[in-house]
Amino acid sequence: MKNVYILDACALVAMLAGEPGATEVRNIIRRAYNGKAHVSMNRLNLLEVYYELFRSYDKKYADDKLEKINKLPVVIIPGIGDAVFLEAGRLKATYRISIADAVALAEASVSGATLVTADHHEMDVIDKNEKIRFLWIR
């Protein structure tokens, strides 16, 4: 499953804002357009993206970006299935991370996908102690 990716909010924000790591995320999205990768993101993590754009800019900017996101070849996972629910709970309890980070990690763990992120602060310890694959964009 080398070509299956879960996006964390910070990865998508990096791409949208042209931050360091944007090129790596764009390349993954390009591969998804070409059918060479499967990319998904939980709706809870998409909420984080929307919140960050709204907070940093304004509602119109956030709404415009959300419309563009919805046209990307990124499957938005609408809810939290039982396996992800249980894994996210375990990860949150073990590492005291945010719910959103726990859900992104659990999506990657349960599906065997690679988590695309830049969030070293929260996830370096998880990278060292869990069997979750990471693609660090910076």
Query: Could you tell me the strand order of the sheet in which 114-117 lies?
Result: 74-77, 38-42, 4-7, 114-117, 133-136
**pLDDT tens-place string over residues 66-117:** 999 999 999 999 999 999 999 999 999 999 999 999 999 999 999 999 999 9
**pLDDT tens-place string over residues 56-78:** 999 999 999 999 999 999 999 99
Pair type for strands 38-42 and 74-77: parallel
Q: Which residue segments constitute the domains of the chain, with CATH numbers given?
A: 4-136 (3.40.50.1010)
The b/e string for 74-84 (b: 16+ C-beta within 10 A; e otherwise) is: beebeebeeeb
What pTM, to 2 d.p., does this model score?
A: 0.95
